[in-house]
Amino acid sequence: MRPIQAPFPATRLRRTRATAAIRSMVAENTLSAADLIWPLFVREGTGVEEPVPSMPGVFRRSVDKIVEAAREAAGLGIPAICLFPYTEAKNRSNDCSEAWNPDNLSNRATRAIKSAVPEIAVMTDVALDPYSDTGHDGFVVAGKIVNDETVEALVKQALSQAEAGVDIIGPSDMMDGRIGAIRAALEAAGHEDVLLLSYAAKYASAFYGPFRDAVGASGALQGDKKSYQMDPANSDEALRLVERDLREGADMVMIKPGLPYLDICRRVKDAFGAPTFAYQVSGEYAMIMAAAHNGWIDGERAMLESLMAFKRAGCDGVLSYFAPAVARILASEQ
């Protein structure tokens, strides 16, 4: 596209910026509650809302409180929530079998939400890190994260989530071949309508720190995740991963983290045109909240601006811990 314009003063680009009415007429992108997926942390207990210190305003909620949050989200027009379990040490093990226990925390929360607030879409995470004693997303054998054995376990985990009634499964593990394996297993088990939102381009990032606190994985993690998550130096590789996952049966793809990787979002959307999501991760949330709490930035404006940036970069939606706050602001502006 080559914009055509007359020389100054026939063209004055400030004309279309002069008033709120004109600005809204020419706005190229919009942000709405329908663009948001709200990640929620689930823990054991009843009536519990436990603050996550590194993520002010974010809580670990017991299943009953998760149901309340789901109802709140639906009321705000947020179409989906994404569940992450905080697993107690006793449920972490070498074989990660809690991951496919039909009655694990994540599956119990899914069932409770689907029976109380059926209209909201429930998304879950497929990866072994909440259940492994090493904090890794896959099995560790002789110091290596083994791929194919892990994929077998991920398939069992995904099937147990589908049985519990999730709408969207989000494999975040970055093993090779898991999308095809999970898709085939879902089809074979009669779960042909379950969506796969692949964390296709997930980087080995420093911005996941507060999340690992939230799910109790910080202490557990041995080493780093660089042998399976992407190198922040790479961009072409992200396109190869997205293409691979789409060919294996992903319905939607995700780029993660968000703001530092907007270039990847734009390339992925332009190259494939598939439903494309970004994850504004815990560290991004924490940075904005910390600066806002110090009075260094206007937190409300910063969260809105950061989310609009994803829309501008071509994303169809964003997983964001800001989801309910932003939905409330957007509703009050109408």
Sites of contact with ligand PBG (CB under 6 A): 125, 127, 129, 137, 172, 208, 211-212, 225, 281-282
Nearer to ligand PBG, 116 or 204 (CB): 204
CA atoms within 13 Å, Cβ hemisphere of 155: 20
User: Where do we find the tokens 């911005």?
Assistant: 207
CA distance 328 to 91: 36
Nearer to ligand PBG, 10 or 276 (CB): 276
Nearer to ligand PBG, 124 or 276 (CB): 124
Active site residue 256: yes
User: DSSP 3-state assignment of 9?
Assistant: coil
CA distance 172 to 245: 12
Residues 6+ apart with CB under 8 A from 51: 58, 59
Instruction: Kindly state the smallest distance separating residue 41's Cβ from ligand PBG, in Å.
Output: 10
CA distance 300 to 310: 16
End-to-end CA distance of the chain: 33
User: Where do we find the tokens 């991004």?
Assistant: 284
Pull the structure tokens for residue 54.
């590194």
Instruction: Kindly state the smallest distance separating residue 137's Cβ from ligand PBG, in Å.
Output: 5
Active site residue 202: yes
Nearest to 171 by CA among 186, 188, 187: 186
Point out the catalytic residue in the list 114, 225, 256, 269: 256
Nearer to ligand PBG, 106 or 282 (CB): 282
Q: Could you give the dihedral angle defined by the CA atoms of residues 325, 328, 330 and 334, in that order, rounded to the nearest 10 degrees?
A: -170
Instruction: Kindly state the smallest distance separating residue 218's Cβ from ligand PBG, in Å.
Output: 9
Point out the catalytic residue in the list 65, 202, 225, 311: 202
Instruction: Kindly state the smallest distance separating residue 329's Cβ from ligand PBG, in Å.
Output: 21
Instruction: Kindly state the smallest distance separating residue 125's Cβ from ligand PBG, in Å.
Output: 5
CA distance 53 to 122: 25
CA distance 40 to 220: 21
Instruction: Kindly state the smallest distance separating residue 244's Cβ from ligand PBG, in Å.
Output: 19
Nearer to ligand PBG, 56 or 189 (CB): 56
Cα radius of gyration rounded to whole Å, the chain? 20
CA distance 252 to 170: 9
Give me the count of residues in the chain.
334
Nearer to ligand PBG, 110 or 282 (CB): 282
Active-site positions?
Answer: 202, 256
